[in-house]
Structure 1
Amino acid sequence: MIEILKNKMTPERILSAGVGLEREGLRVTPQGKLALTPHPSIFGDKLGNPYITTDFSESQVEIITPVFDSVDDAYHFLEALTDIVINEINENNELYWPYSMPCDIPEDEDIPIAEYQGEEGKKARAYREKLIKKYGGKRQLISGIHYNFSFSDDVLETLFRESGGELSYRDFKDKIYLKVLRNFLRYRWLIVFLLGCTPGLHGSYIEKCLACMEEVDSSETFLSQDGTSARNGSCSGYKNEIDLYPSYASVDEFIASIEEYIKRGDISEAKELYAQIRLKPKKFNDVLGSLKADGIQYLEIRTIDLNVFDKCGIAKVDLEFLNIFMLFLLLEGEESFDTWQQEALINEVKVAEHGLKADLELLDHRHWTLKTAWAEDILEKIAEINEYLDLKQDHCIEVMQNRLRNPQTTYAERLKQLMTEKGYLNANLELANEYRTDSVSRRYCLKGFEQWELSTQILIKEAITRGIKVTPMDAADNIIALEKDGHKEYVKQATKTSADTYITPLLMENKVVTKMILKENGIPVPAGEEFFSVDEARLKLPNYVGKKVVIKPKSTNFGLGICIYDRGGTIEELLEGARIAFAYDHTILIEAYVAGLEYRFLTMGDEVVAVLHRRAANVVGDGIHTVQALIDKKNEHPYRGDGYTSPLKKIKLDDQAQLFLKQQGISASTVPRPGELVYLRGNSNISTGGDSIDYTDKMHPRFSEIAMKAVRAFGAKFCGVDIIIEDYSNPESAFGIIELNFNPAIMMQAYPFEGKERRLGYNILKTIGLAD
């Protein structure tokens, strides 16, 4: 088989596989007690959200990634989901518990079982009520990582085609997965050692399980002397009442085994078999029937403890190793004997409970062998596969070899030392708080989508949070598909949707036409005229010398090419402004300058959803640094970046900015006085380095009504209305609409420099009919 892979496939094709991840985790209070609050309503229907749901309890959040063909993509999406959960539960001052074994938990009667809606919900609830009676609620709160794996169609079809056997493709695929499953059961002890991360229990856990460990101190910390994974041990873990050993010789024999267990009353249905690895069907609501009709679709590995040292619960290097480990399981031979499953279970428990003992022995085909020697042999075989197939997975293999040779670097030993020093609760709470700080600090960024415009990231994040299926279609054009309950919408750049007509942006991008339509609807606009050439500008601009005016391109966005003369300008300065404007359009406008501050009214549907004051790019003097040095320092703010992937933009001292400074009699080398506010340009666009300040709750409603009147004149559903107002709190104040913007960026209102953050992704979903 390895020769087929070597000769017929590239390393990249061999490693490509279907990888999906599920992570369970408890919501806890800042004190480490189980949060008894309901599952956050923002996540919607628990049975309908494909990304964020519950497991056994209302307090147990489960996050689920789609299937990806690379470890990197799966890990990044898991991190995105983890960030979403941490940020949402933080609103209720709760933490996402990073450890597989439970926090400080109450007795069974006080553990809130997950609530569901509808007929399917009743079945889900009834199943959980049976589990708590049969196994107890405390065991049900154990959490972990489920690693869903499938070989790529490319790999399976190549092996099938080259094998030349008599089996059908479906039967061949089943045979492949059954072999991998059997070998995983044989070698799962190695995963328990390498990834095990549950060396202790809290004093509120099951008493007979605590008796198997040593109480460290009065903080209710109980630790195993040399165990790696209480979750996979004989007492503390999540297991069936009796050990069950179904047949994995074929799909039919497996089904027959499960039916026999159900008939005997050992389990109530197929999913109650708490196996370390599961055969997964096409239809989840009929496991056995679907396996028989459609065959095995993928394998679900359930051995993996949450890794407390990674915010996502599993490190990327461990996922990389699991990927090549699955290949090893496919290529490794197998020797069958009657009690091989019993032997595999013995090895699992021994490593879970004593894996850190240097002289631990395991059963290998009925013979005792030193765990370290056997593990070295397996890792060496994996290294040989890696080298022979040129897979370039040296790093993850070396990491595992180092863990084996230096047990102090294993997750279990590291966590045991941490809990010895700080106590069970404090050790895990410190990590949970660290991950919360990280997630909150980068809440505007969606992991795995960093190259998408931030406005689109905001929409994607909101859709995922609310259980709306997101399909990225084109990152370069920021096009996504959103779908829920059969309703599908295509969206470009967050606010280009089917809700607006084709003509709307064409009208808005023409500033002359915009002014005409506004005027027709009784909305005041600044007076001005058009210039079609530099010669015409040179001829007419003397009429504007000394007057307060604005020169700008006829059709532009983001404040590009705009020069403001709020103190009047010389003929030379006006001509320079004309030159800058003509660089962006063949036609330019000169308009009367409207006194006051500029505000962006963001409208969606039939309402103003946010109002923002955009303060022009500026620096504040300290009496020491030059203007340029102050710009460099301000650009270090974490919100400031380049392009459209950050809430604020870096300030650039371009021609327009230098001209604006010159009008003030200063330059980039000037050292402003302490506290002196120096504006760097007349226009206040965020795209040119401005500051965003939320005024939604301060703005007088009259101006929001004016903004909506302007938007209705164009029939727009999404719009950014720029209004200059002398006094935002006075309904009689002078004002002037200077621009309407189709496809407005939303990141500056969602994450303002000052003021309240707004959930504008929700407003978009509501406007296009995907949210209530």
Structure 2
Amino acid sequence: MIEILKNKMTPESILTAGFGVEREGLRVTPQGKLALTPHPPVFGDKLKNPYITTDFSESQVELVTPVCYSVTETYDFLEALTDIVINEIDGDEELFWPYSMPCDIPEDKNIPISTYQGESGKKAREYREKLMAKYGGKRQLISGIHYNFSFSDDFLEILWKESGSELTYKDFKDKIYLKVLRNYLRYRWLIIYLMGCTPGLHESYIKKCLDCMEKNGHQTFLSQGGTSARNGNCSGYKNEIDLYPDYSSVSGFIGSIKEFISRKNISEAKELYAQIRLKPKDFANVLGSLERDGIQYLEIRTIDLNPFDKCGIAKVDLEFLNIFMLFLLLEGEEFFETWQQEALINEVAVAEHGLESDLELLDKQHWTLKTAWAEDVLGKMAEINEYLNLNQDHCIEVMLNRVKNPQTTYAYRLKELMTEKGYIRTNLELANKYKSESVKEHYHLKGFENWELSTQILIKEALTRGIKVTPVDASENIIALEKDGHKEYVKQATKTSADTYITPLLMENKVVTKMILKENGIPVPKGEEFFSFEEASVKLPKYVGKKVVIKPKSTNFGLGICIYNNGGSFDELLEGARIAFEHDNTILIEEYIAGLEYRFLTMGDDVVAVLHRRPANVVGDGILTIQELIDIKNQHPYRGDGHTSPLKKIELDDQSQMFLKKQGISVLSVPKPGEVVYLRGNSNISTGGDSIDYTEEMHPYFSKIALAAARAFDAKFCGIDIIIEDYKNPKSAYGIIELNFNPAIMMHAYPFEGKERRLGYNILKTIGLAE
């Protein structure tokens, strides 16, 4: 089989597979007690949200990645969901517990079982109530990582065709997955050693489990040599008796499960708490679907949460699991009657004594030193890696180091921390660390950092609310959103089917925009068009000394705009015309309106946000030059390229240099302490301006004007720029200077000053995907 892979496939195609991760975790109070509050309502219907739901308890969040086709994509998506959960749970009142074994938990009667809606929700609740009665609530709160894996169709089809198998493709695929499953059961002890990370329990856990460990103080009980209490006999979550299904064929497996159910060992197929599961196409009818459709993928359930990684599993571990699955496929098998019992003995031995240097395990009914066996397996994996040119040396070397140096394992490192700080403090410190990291980077969505930020905002909101997200074109920022059969394509967050094609065409033409606004009784600045630089040279003299604005006819982002709020000389006006003509073949000169500029953002029938855009500026300290002050201000975490960050870095161009020159200063000037130096006249965020939220301060009269302007163009998404002399006075002078189709939302969502606005929800509501 390895020769087929070597000769017929590239290393990339060998490593390409379907990956998915389910990560469970408890919501806890800042004191480390189980949070008894309901599952956050922002996540919506638990049975319909494909990304964020609950497991057994209302307090137990479950994160589910979609099927991804690379380790990096899988890890990034899991991190995105983790950040969402950390930022959405109850503010200062809750944390996301990073450890598999429960926090400080109450008695069973006080553990809130998950509640659900509808008839299917009633069945889900009843199933959990049976589990509570049978296994107890404390065991049900154990959390972990479920690793879902499937070979790619290309991978399986090449093996099928090149092997000359007489089996149907379905039966061949079943045979492949069953072999991998059987070998996983044989070698699962190695995963428990390498990734096990539950060396301790809190004193609130089950007493008979605590009795298997040593009391360490700090309400902490520790296993001195154990790696994974979660996978051990004492503390783990297992069936009441050991069950050994028939894994020789799908039909054999189905028959054994039916027998377990008839004997009342389990109530249904999903109650088999195996270390690895065969997964069907139809989850509503597990056994029938396995028989009809075959095995779709494998679910590994061995892996403890890794408290040393925010996501609960390290990327290097995911990389290792990928090549480990390949090893399981290629490794031979030896059958004997008690092979499953032997595998269970090894599982428990490593879970409870894995850190002991002289531990021996059963290898085909013969005792062998755990360390020697582990090195042998990793050696075989290294040979596969080298022969197939997979370039996975790093992850194999990391695992070999854990074998040779047990003090580098997660279990050992965590046991040391718990010995020093105690069970609760150790995990709370890690939980608080991850919360700080997520809050600091809350405007970034992992895996989508290169997407335009407005689109990231929308994707994040959709994931949060359980709306299926399908990236369509990253370069164009196009995504598909789907919920309950309603599908919408969206470009750049606010280009949607809600608006007509003519709307942006009208808005991008400032002359037409002014005409339509005037027809609707909305005041606009007076002005004149110039169609050539020569025409401007002839007509500009009459504007000398007057307060005017010169700008291109059809551009956005404040490009090519020069403002003369104190009037300008002929040469200065001519220079402004030259700059404007660099961006369009037609320019406008308009009267300057006194006051401040505000951006009103409308979605549907509402003004959802208002902000003042303060022109690019620095504040002096009497020591630093303007250039040095700019450099410091550009270090603000919100400032970047303006597409993937809330604010743009300040860049000096010809307009800025001219603006400073008019003030009699340069970039080498040193402003006085507290002196505000403006670097340009226009206030666009795209040219380095500051965004200041005014949503709640703005007088409603002006919001009505903005909404009327948007309605004049029948625009569902619109950014209206209005100059207002006194934003609190409805009788104040004002003038609309521009309407913007496809308005950027990041400056409202993450303003430089003021309240952040949750605008992804407003977009979803406007296009009918949220209520």
Same fold (TM over 0.5): yes
- Comparing 85-94 with 401-410, greater Cα deviation is found at 85-94
How far did residue 421 of structure 1 move? 1.0
Q: Note the 1:156-555 alignment, pairs <5 A.
A: 156-217=156-217, 219-555=218-554
Matched, 1:658 2:685: no
Q: What SS does the corresponding residue of 1:518 show, helix, strand or coil? A: helix
User: In structure 1, the residue corresponding to 2:416 is in which secondary structure?
Assistant: helix
Q: Distance in 1 between matches of 2:528 and 2:254?
A: 81
8 A Cα contact 2:531 2:586, kept in partner: yes
1:444 is displaced (CA, Å) by: 0.6
RMSD, aligned CA: 0.6
Aligned equivalents of 1:343 and 1:146: distance in 2? 23
Q: Helix, strand or coil: the match of 1:303?
A: coil
In 2, the alpha carbon distance for the partners of 1:572 and 1:409 equals: 72
| Equivalent AA in structure 1 for residue 205 of structure 2 | Y
Deviations, residues 278-305 of structure 1 (Å, cap 9, x unaligned): 0000000110000000000000000000
Q: Distance in 2 between matches of 1:32 and 1:101?
A: 12
Code of the aligned partner of 1:290: S
CA distance in structure 2 between the aligned counterparts of 1:386 and 1:29, rounded to whole angstroms: 45
Superposed CA offset, 1:100-139 (max 9, x none): 0000000000000000011110110000000000000000
Q: Report the AA paired with residue 141 of structure 2.
A: L
Residue 667 of structure 2: aligned partner? 668
8 Å CA contact 2:642–2:649 kept in 1: the answer is no
Partner of 1:82: 82
TM (norm. structure 1) is: 1.00
> Aligned with 1:540: secondary structure?
helix
TM-superposed deviation, 1:546: 1.1
Give runs of ≥4 in structure 1 deviating > 2 Å. Answer: 90-93
Contact 2:227 2:412 in 1 (8 A): yes
Tell me, in whole angstroms, the C-alpha distance in 2 between the residues paired with 1:396 and 1:567.
66
Once the two structures are TM-superposed, the CA of residue 716 in structure 1 deviates from its matched residue by 0.5
1:66 aligns with 2:66: yes
Tell me by how many angstroms 1:90 deviates.
4.2
Given the alignment of the two structures, is residue 587 of structure 1 paired with residue 586 of structure 2, yes or no?
yes
Indicate the residue corresponding to 2:739 in structure 1: 740
- 2: distance between equivalents of 1:243 and 1:475? 49
5+ long unaligned stretches in structure 2: none
Within 5 Å, give how 1:630-641 maps onto structure 2.
630-641=629-640
How far off is 1:570 after superposition? 1.2
Paired with 1:752 and 1:344, the residues of 2 have a C-alpha distance of 57
1:91 positional shift: 2.7
How much does 1:92 deviate?
A: 5.9
Q: Is the 8 A contact 2:98 2:431 kept in 1?
A: yes
TM-score, length-scaled by structure 2: 1.00
Using the TM superposition, give the Cα deviation of residue 545 of structure 1 relative to its aligned residue in structure 2, in angstroms.
Answer: 1.1
Contact 2:724–2:732 at 8 Å: present in 1 too? yes
Is 2:55 the counterpart of 1:55? yes
Question: 1:30-83, CA deviations, whole angstroms, 9 ceiling, x for partnerless residues?
Answer: 000000000000000000000000000000000000001100000000000000
AA aligned to 1:388 is Y
Question: What is the count of residue pairs matched by the alignment?
Answer: 771
Give the residue type in structure 2 aligned to 1:502: Y
CA distance in 1, matches of 2:538, 2:424: 78
Return the alpha-carbon distance in structure 1 between the equivalents of residues 569 and 274 of structure 2: 82
1:623 Cα shift?
Answer: 1.1
1:770 and 1:678 map into 2 onto residues whose CA distance is: 45
Could you say which residue in structure 2 is the equivalent of 1:134?
134
Q: Which amino acid aligns with 2:589?
A: I
- 1:373-402: per-residue Cα shift (whole Å, max 9, x none)? 000000000000000000000000000011
SS in structure 1 of the partner of residue 426 of structure 2: helix
In structure 2, how many angstroms separate the alpha carbons of the residues matched to 1:258 and 1:544? 89
Aligned partner of 1:123 in structure 2 is: 123
Deviation at 1:572, TM superposition (A): 1.2
- Provide the rounded CA distance (Å) in 2 between the counterparts of 1:421 and 1:615: 52
Say if 2:599 is the partner of 1:613: no
Matched position secondary structure for 2:215: strand
Distance in 2, Cα, partners of 1:547 & 1:402: 76
The Cα offsets for residues 672-718 of structure 1, whole Å up to 9 and x where unpaired, read as 11111000011110011111110000000000000011111110000
Q: Is the 8 A contact 2:577 2:587 kept in 1?
A: yes
SS in 1 for 2:301: strand
Return the alpha-carbon distance in structure 2 between the equivalents of residues 92 and 168 of structure 1.
Answer: 57
- Could you say which residue in structure 2 is the equivalent of 1:153? 153
Give a deviation string over 1:612-661, Cα, whole Å, max 9, x none. Answer: 11111000111111111111110011110014000011000011111111
**1:102 match:** 102
> How far has the Cα of 1:766 moved from its partner?
0.3
SS in 2 for 1:304: coil
**Deviations 1:527-570 (CA, angstroms, capped at 9, x unpaired):** 11011111111111111111111100000001111011111111
Q: Distance in 1 between matches of 2:546 and 2:30?
A: 61
C-alpha distance in 2 between matches for 1:21 and 1:378: 25
**How far apart, CA to CA, are the structure 1 residues paired with 2:506 and 2:351?**
68
How far apart, CA to CA, are the structure 1 residues paired with 2:587 and 2:104?
68
Aligned counterparts of 2:402 and 2:563: Cα–Cα separation in 1: 64
